[in-house]
Structure 1
């Protein structure tokens, strides 16, 4: 796999999340929140590796592509602000759906420009071996990339490399806290369901047995043979 194929694979991953969100029902709040969380992570990592590896390499190799790269960086900037706002927005908030829709529109436009205009020119400027080497660098960058958007952080080297490393550490801490919270919530939910089942079983066991008929006072008991 070369660098362009790797970045296109990222684009497909994000597009799949977009489609799932668009197909989700109006009341599928929990699913939509989960999908947006994944969008935030995927897009934050993708933007970081492009800014740390791909864009600087292209600017250094092909001077005529500087302007498209600068436009792409500005598009990243807009998307990161949307992601930052969506991180803390409840799925039942009035603007949640609208904000996700604007995010999807912006990312789709950005992806179309990259794949139809930028990537073909990059493929002409680099040899196959160079693109494969760049893919290895992108893969390594993914391992230490921030997992959340940082719109105020620098997006060009060398400042973004330092800021990215710090942000990645902070994001790891936030991710760990979020993961632990989800586990606790899941455990609490399962325990509540289990407790409800036990209480229901106990009530059933306490119900009177037999035909449920109460004999009339003074009457002879009636036995069913």
Structure 2
């Protein structure tokens, strides 16, 4: 993911990409091994997306949007729930009940989160920020996704400054593991 737009366009494009991956997973037979590969791909994309939002989007919401702290806290809670679902999904194989149950929960949680962000948070941010601020945030989000972890780390910090300090190191370790295992390729 990396779309070269303002933060709202960037994150909305990420949402469509995740939805597309979910659709591809659902189109395959329950025990098709490709479902595991696609689950890994959606995990990698969602983790990078979430880390970037936590590092840059939610601090901007806190700063610029009236009632932004409560909005950001709710979105971070959503992320924690999704990250735990991703962790639970990580060990499951297609055709196993755990894979199906966790995938169903994940799709619903992400769908709810996307609807909330696109229907409420993004319009509020767009009203509160200038085009230049939104473009700058978009660039920061794109850069954060390049170094973000690719695996779920539910116990990792999800607010600045700790997340900005630890995420790049975890991302480097995750990408090394991915390279060694062939995950995501």
- TM-score in terms of structure 1 length: 0.77
CA distance in structure 2 between the partners assigned to 1:16 and 1:134 by the alignment: 24
Matched with 1:98 is 101
Give the one of 153, 172, 176 matched to 2:175: 172
CA distance in 1, matches of 2:181, 2:166: 22
Report whether the alignment pairs 1:15 with 2:25.
no
For residues 49-68 of structure 1, give each alpha carbon's deviation from its aligned partner in whole angstroms, at most 9, with x where no partner exists. Answer: 00011111221222412111
**Deviation for aligned residue 1:182:** 9.4
Poorly superposed stretches of 4+, deviation over 6 Å: none
Q: 2:121 aligns with which of 118, 135, 153?
A: 118
CA contact (8 A) 2:30 2:95 kept: no
Label 1:64 to 1:47 Cα distance change in 2 as closer, same or farther (>3 A): same
1-structure distance, mates of 2:58, 2:82: 17
**1:188 matched residue in structure 2:** none
Aligned counterparts of 1:59 and 1:182: Cα–Cα separation in 2: 34
Structure 1 residues 63 and 17 mapped into 2: Cα distance closer, same or farther (>3 Å)? same
Distance apart, 1:95 and its partner CA: 1.5
Structure 2: runs of 5+ lacking an equivalent = none
Q: CA shift at 1:149, angstroms?
A: 1.1
Deviation at 1:89, TM superposition (A): 1.6
> CA–CA distance in 1 between the matches of 2:14 and 2:79?
15
Residues 11-36 of structure 1, C-alpha deviations (whole Å, 9 max, x = no match): 000000111112222342x1211110
**Residues 182/125 of structure 1: CA separation in 2 closer, same or farther (3 Å cut):** closer
1:2 to 6, 18, 23: 6
User: What are the ranges of 5 or more consecutive residues in structure 1 without an aligned counterpart?
Assistant: 184-225
Tell me the matched-pair count. 181
Which stretch of structure 1 is more off in the superposition, 5-14 or 135-144? 135-144
Q: Does 1:159 align with 2:162?
A: yes
TM-score computed with the length of structure 2 as normaliser: 0.93
More relative contact order, 1 or 2 (CA 8 Å, 6+ apart):
2
Q: 2:45 aligns with which of 22, 42, 45?
A: 42
**1:1-225 → structure 2 map (5 Å cutoff):** 1-28=5-32, 30-179=33-182
Query: In structure 2, how many angstroms separate the alpha carbons of the residues matched to 1:119 and 1:108?
Result: 15
Alpha-carbon distance in structure 1 between the residues aligned to 2:27 and 2:175:
31
Residue 109 of structure 1: SS of its match in structure 2? Answer: helix
Larger radius of gyration: 1
